[in-house]
Amino acid sequence: MSTATSEFIQNLPTAEQAIARLREIGMPKRNNELWSFFPVAKIPTPEFMGTDFAASSAANPAAAPAANETAAQSPAENAPAIKESDFAALLPIANNARPMIREIADGADEMAMLKCNNDFGHTVLDIGKGAKVSLEILDNKVTHDIAAERFDINVGENADVEIFFANPACDLPLRFRHFNINQAAGANVRFSSICKDTAIGRISIECHLKGEGANFDYRSLHILDGEASQHSRLTIYHEAPRTVSTQLARNLLSGSARVSYDGSVIVGYDCTGVNSSQLVNTILMSEDASVSVKPVLKIYHDDVECTHGNTVGELDAEQMFYLVSRGIPKKAAQEMLMRSFAQETFLPLPDSPAKKRLMSSL
Amino acid sequence: MLSIKNLKASIEDGTQILKGINLEVKPGEVHAIMGPNGSGKSTLSKVIAGHPAYHVDGGSVELDGKNLLEMEINERANSGLFISTQYPTEIPGVNNVEFLKMALNSKRAFLGQPEMSDEDFKKLCEEKMNLLEMDERYRERGVNDGMSGGEKKRNEILQMAILDPKVSFLDETDSGLDIDALRIVANGINHIMSPEKAVILVTHYQRLLDYIKPTYVHVLRHGKIILSGGPELALKLEDQGYDWIEEA
Ligand SMILES: Nc1ncnc2c1ncn2[C@@H]1O[C@H](COP(=O)(O)OP(=O)(O)O)[C@@H](O)[C@H]1O
Ligand SMILES: [Mg+2]
């Protein structure tokens, strides 16, 4: 493996580092921009945070851990500091999730399925140059009170990778999935997901487009009902010229389901010809369903094309009338329109196992 | 078979658009409704179909003795009513053929008939598409999606052919059609028509009525039918316009 990839693996935080960092940043709070829409009160405080940690000040992390035994044994002092600051990204590592490291050779053509632990998991994929990878993430049937999974994915030059999941509705009370993606020049990553979970969840993605022409395509569909509360947090760093990112998030919300979409695009200096788009479309099927969208653009270059859009609506009344006036019952007509809205999310994908799986699950 | 009595309807702001429409349509008849823009012709079709933008203030619409106004929108269609609106709605993402199959099977379910098999449906669809000289691309497209005005009208008549309604109300089906398309669509309508069925045509032009001979021609103005006559009335209207008619 090249130095770049081994560096990638070596730079992953250790459990000690993760714990130390978590103590430093503290439990997620609503006033932290990473968690502004999330029902943070539902997150149980992990033991290693110390029992009275939550009450202590995050600005003075040294004060908290000294109080209890776990903290006393903590090697926090010797662990070099890390910068990672997303609680959900650090949680699995802090909980000693043993990393499953998989290296995919240059030029390989692989289809893989990954079964998640549904408690704490850490997967590291190091994908070689020009490799072609289709990765489906599956749920494990066994569920716990909380699941936090982390994926570190390093994508070599000109590799073509699809990552997708269309799991059946999951009633895990709380689920985090964090993806940390690095893309070298010319690397394509398509991330596509369908979420029908019934409880609380958050997907966070940090994508670094490090090499010229790298392309990240994100498509997500949330079909939620009842009390479901699902949150997405994306940060895309355009760190090289002519990098492209596309985000399309579609939501079909019934009951009192709640969705938030928090997408940041950061375009660095010297990054000419960057193209980035973000679009969030939501259909509210009920009075109590709700959506919050927060687009953030930080652009440090002129020659950049960035667009973002956000639409919220109901099913089109004229389309409903048309279908029903041809004899189709109201409920079936609604389903037809919802299905077409859902399918359009993935229609532009190239023919692939991901597209097949996602479309067939709708 | 279709009996409209003193039908009054208004829009949301309370403005009454239909001010007492009376129309008796018997099996085997073709009725042409003409009239200046804005007189309420399209409103009449949508009120009968049950469009939510209109409020019925009074009167009745019966199909074979059953009050349509008390039925759900889909039940009206399944009871044998077919309304083709002036501007058919586009529904990208809902496949044209899937939609047709769904509509047909909804009607069959309503009538207590079993679902049509895929094979039989395919045959039926092919037959009607041939009748209307429609090419294969219609199958792949979304309902009316990206179709020209004329293509949409033809697609509407395809639906009519497949759903085989008792009474069809076709609102300006001839507008947007070129000369060939007009002939094809008109022949299609004649082909679907039978002594047990009836058609109501809203049109501005005699050219459609050259193909489809009307039994009666009505003039609708300011929300009322102000004059009725035979086919010769259409010719006179084309020649002289509407201003000579005295409103009651
Ligand atoms: N949904 C509506 N909202 C507001 N005005 C309407 C609506 N439907 C019809 N109208 C008005 O009612 C009148 C009759 O319209 P329409 O039935 O479309 O006439 P026609 O088809 O005879 O040209 C017009 O003045 C039109 O603007
Ligand atoms: Mg009209």
Residue B248: the pLDDT is 54
Using CB atoms and an 8 Å cut-off, which of residues 48-107 of chain B contact chain A? 49-52, 72-74, 76-78, 83, 88-89, 91-94, 99, 102-103, 106-107
Residues in chain B: 248
Taking the centre of ligand 1 as the mean of its atom positions, its distance from the CA of residue A327, in whole angstroms, is 24
Structure tokens at A164: 């997708």
Place of tokens 């992953």: A12
CB atoms within 10 A of CB B72: 12
Least CA distance to B80: which residue of chain A? A327
pLDDT at B210 over 90: yes
For β-strands B216-221 and B224-229, DSSP reports them as antiparallel
For β-strands A147-155 and A174-183, DSSP reports them as parallel
Task: Strands of A184-286 (E only): list them.
Answer: 188-195, 200-209, 215-224, 229-238, 244-253, 258-267, 274-284
- What is the distance in angstroms between the Cα of B140 and the nearest Cα belonging to chain A? 14
The architecture in CATH of the region B2-92+147-247 reads 3-Layer(aba) Sandwich (3.40)
Ligand that comes closest to the CA of residue B19: 1
Q: Residues near A347 by Cβ (< 8 Å), separated by ≥ 6?
A: none
Q: What is the ipTM of this complex?
A: 0.96
Average pLDDT over residues B35-63: 96
Residues in chain B closer than 8 A to A341 (CB atoms): 93
Least CA distance to B168: which residue of chain A? A326
Question: Which residue has the CA at smallest separation from atom 26 of ligand 1?
Answer: B38
Structure tokens at A172: 């895990």
Residue A62: the pLDDT is 44
Residue A78: the pLDDT is 59
Structure-derived torsion over alpha carbons of residues A221, A223, A226, A227, reported in degrees to the nearest 10: -10
Q: Tell me the average pLDDT of chain B.
A: 94
Which residue, A94, A87, A152, is CA-closest to A120?
A94
How do the domains of chain A map onto residue ranges?
91-360
Pocket of ligand 1, beta carbon within 6 A:
B 11, 17, 35, 37-43, 53
Structure tokens at B134: 């429609």
Listing from the earlier edge strand, what are the strands of the sheet with B2-11? B16-25, B2-11, B54-63, B66-67
Q: B156 — phi, psi (to 5°)?
A: -65, -45
Are the beta carbons of A325 and B74 separated by less than 8 Å? yes
Q: Residues near B169 by Cβ (< 8 Å), separated by ≥ 6?
A: B44, B45, B48, B49, B81, B82, B83, B84, B200, B202
Residue B247: the pLDDT is 62
Q: Tell whether A320 is within 8 A of chain B (Cβ).
A: no
Angle at Cα A52 formed by Cα A47 and Cα A57, nearest 5°? 115
Residue B138: the pLDDT is 87
Residues A316, A337 contacting (CB under 8 angstroms): yes
Residues in chain A closer than 8 A to B159 (CB atoms): 326
Atom of ligand 1 nearest to the CA of B46: 17
Residues A175, A144 contacting (CB under 8 angstroms): no
- What is the distance in angstroms between the Cα of B192 and the nearest Cα belonging to chain A? 17
Separation CA A330–CA A324 (nearest Å): 6
Helix (H) or strand (E) holding B84: strand B81-84
Are the beta carbons of A337 and B91 separated by less than 8 Å? yes
Residue A167: the pLDDT is 83
pLDDT at B232 over 80: yes
Atom of ligand 1 nearest to the CA of B220: 22
Residues in chain A: 362
Separation CA B24–CA A52 (nearest Å): 83
How do the domains of chain B map onto residue ranges?
2-92+147-247
For β-strands A274-284 and A244-253, DSSP reports them as parallel
Residues in chain A closer than 8 A to B140 (CB atoms): none
Residues A265, A294 contacting (CB under 8 angstroms): no
Check residues B245 and A289 and name the one with the higher pLDDT.
A289
Residues in chain A closer than 8 A to B163 (CB atoms): 326-327
Residue A293: the pLDDT is 95
Separation CA A150–CA A272 (nearest Å): 32
- Give every residue of chain A whose pLDDT is below 50, as ranges: 1, 52-76
| Three-class secondary structure of residue A328 per DSSP | coil
Question: Which residue has the CA at smallest separation from atom 16 of ligand 1?
Answer: B40
Global pTM reads 0.84
Q: Which of A327, A337, A344 sits opposite B74 (nearest CB)?
A: A327
Residue A71: the pLDDT is 42
Place of tokens 């090249």: A2
Q: Residues near A137 by Cβ (< 8 Å), separated by ≥ 6?
A: A113, A114, A116, A163, A164, A165, A167
Least CA distance to A340: which residue of chain B? B93
Please give the interface size between A and B, counted as residue pairs whose CB atoms are below 8 Å apart.
69
Q: A145 — phi, psi (to 5°)?
A: -70, -30
Percent of the residues in chain B that have a pLDDT greater than 90, as a whole number? 84
Q: Residues near B244 by Cβ (< 8 Å), separated by ≥ 6?
A: none
Q: Sign of the C-alpha dihedral, residues B65, B68, B71, B72?
A: positive
Residue A81: the pLDDT is 75
Amino acid, res. A114: L
Q: Tell whether A330 is within 8 A of chain B (Cβ).
A: yes
Residues A259, A233 contacting (CB under 8 angstroms): no
Largest CA distance in chain B: 56
Least CA distance to A343: which residue of chain B? B93
Q: Tell whether B241 is within 8 A of chain A (Cβ).
A: no
Burial A279-297 (b: 16+ CB within 10 A, else e): bbbbbbbeeebbbebebee
End-to-end CA distance of chain B: 27
Using CB atoms and an 8 Å cut-off, which of residues 116-175 of chain B contact chain A? 142-143, 159, 163
- What is the distance in angstroms between the Cα of A348 and the nearest Cα belonging to chain B? 12
Separation CA B132–CA B185 (nearest Å): 6
Atom of ligand 1 nearest to the CA of B54: 1
For β-strands A99-104 and A290-299, DSSP reports them as unpaired
Separation CA A276–CA A162 (nearest Å): 19
Neighbours of ion ligand 2 (CB under 5 A): B 41-42, 86
Residue A3: the pLDDT is 54
Are the beta carbons of B89 and A326 separated by less than 8 Å? no
Amino acid, res. A209: L
Residue A53: the pLDDT is 46
Least CA distance to A331: which residue of chain B? B74
- What is the distance in angstroms between the Cα of B134 and the nearest Cα belonging to chain A? 20
Separation CA B72–CA A23 (nearest Å): 61
- What is the distance in angstroms between the Cα of B103 and the nearest Cα belonging to chain A? 5
